[in-house]
Amino acid sequence: MNLKSKVLLIVCNMILQVHCARQIPVSSNQIIPVENEAVTESERIVSELLIRKKIPGLAVVVTKKDSVIWKAGYGYANVRKAEYIDPDKSLFRVASISKPISAVGLMKMYEDGIIDINASVYKYVPDFPRKKYDFTIKQLAAHTAGIRTYRGNEFLNRKYMTIKDGLSFFDKDTLMYQPGKGYLYNSNDWNLVAVAMENASTLDFEYYMKNEIFKPLGLTHIIADKSENLEDKVVFYTKRGRRGRFKIASKVNNYYKLASGGYLASASDIAKFGNDVLYNRILQPKSKKVMLTRQEVNDEPTYYGLGWEVSLDKRHRHYYGHFGNGVGGYGYFYVYPEEEMVFVFLTNITNPGINDAIDEIMDIMILGNTTEENPTK
C-alpha cells in the first residue's frame, strides 16, 4: 500500500469513527451543519480524542448570535450499553460550571434588594465562627476572602450533607490571608455564599435557583446532583491502568456544594444560559457588569469576576465563563461577547487532559465563523 492510500485509509477511518460515535436525534433543533468547514475540522479533533480513548463521550453546543451552529453528541453516555449522548438531554456533572450559574442567582437577589453583596457575611450567617478579619459576600464570590480550598479527600465526600452542613469542612479554620489582599480559587467560598443566600431570602438555595432562575429561562435540564436514578444522567468514568481503560468513577455526594460544583446539566441548557446572560435576559446590564468585572488584588488582575472567569485567550480575545473538573465530569463553558459566540463542551470522565484540543476547536470555530477582517482585534 502506497503512502497516499495509507493516508486516505486513515482519514476514512477517522471520519467513520466520528459518524459512528455521533448521535443525531430526529428533532427540528438538532443542527449539525456538515457543510461548515470549521465544524468539519473540529470534528476531526473530536474523532482523535475518541480514537485515543481520551474521553468516553462528549456533548457539544456552539452558538453564534444566539443561533446554534454546531450541536452534537459523540461517543457514549454509557460505554457498556453503547448508549449515545443527546446534547439536549444528557445530564453531565458540570462541576465548577455551577459557580457562574449560582452567581446569576446571587446577582438576581442583589438586583431585587434581597442581599447586599458588599455587606459582611456575618449579616447573613451570624453563626459562622468569627475570624480575625471580617469579609464580604462579594469577596467570597471573587475568591478574595481568604477561605481555604479542599484538603485531603474532602472532594470525595460520599455522605449526604445539606449546604449548611458542608460548612463544617472549613468553618473552624483560620483565613489564609487578610480579605482583599490575596486570591485563592476554591469551592468553599461559594458554599458559604449559598448559605448566605438561603438566610437572606429565607428560601432553600435549590428551590430559589429552580424557581427564580431556571424556570423563567426555560432551563429544564439544569438540576441538583442528588438522585441516582435520573433517566438522562450519563455514566461517570475515570481512567484505569496504563491502557487508560474507562472505569466507573467512585460514588460521591455533591449536594452540599450545589452552588460551587453540584449541578447536573445538558450542553444545550448551559449554552442557552450563556446566551441569556450575554443578551441580558435575566440580569440587568448594571448588575451583570458588576458580576463580570475582573477583580484586582494589590493592583494585579485575578482574571476572575464574581463566580466567573473573566480573561483573554491566546489571541487576546475577551471571554467569560468557567471550566469544571469533578469526579466523573469535566466541562468547558465560555462566552465570547465581541464575537457573540457561546461554547459548551461536556464530557463524562474525570480530568481527561483535553484542554489544548478544546482551545484549538474554539479557535477554529471563531476564525471560521467571523466576517471581520481582523478577528483578533
Using an 8 Å Cβ cutoff, are 88 and 26 in contact? no
Quote the pLDDT of residue 25.
30
Quote the pLDDT of residue 35.
63
- Tens digit of pLDDT for each residue in 257-268? 999 999 999 999
CA distance 151 to 184: 14
| Residue-wise DSSP of 72-89 | EEEEEEETTTTEEP-TTT
CA distance 307 to 12: 43
CA distance 316 to 219: 32
Q: Domain 23-368: what homologous superfamily?
A: DD-peptidase/beta-lactamase superfamily (3.40.710.10)
- What SS3 class is residue 323? strand
Kindly give the parts of the chain with pLDDT less than 50: 1, 3-31, 372-377
CA distance 280 to 298: 31
Cα distances (angstroms) measured from residue 228 to each of 46, 88, 149, 264: 29, 20, 27, 12
Instruction: Map out the domains of the chain as residue ranges.
Output: 23-368
DSSP 166: G
CA distance 103 to 27: 32
Neighbour tally for 98: CB within 10 Å = 32
Quote the pLDDT of residue 164.
97
What pTM was computed for the model?
Answer: 0.90
Look up cell 481503560; give the residue: 245
Quote the pLDDT of residue 32.
53
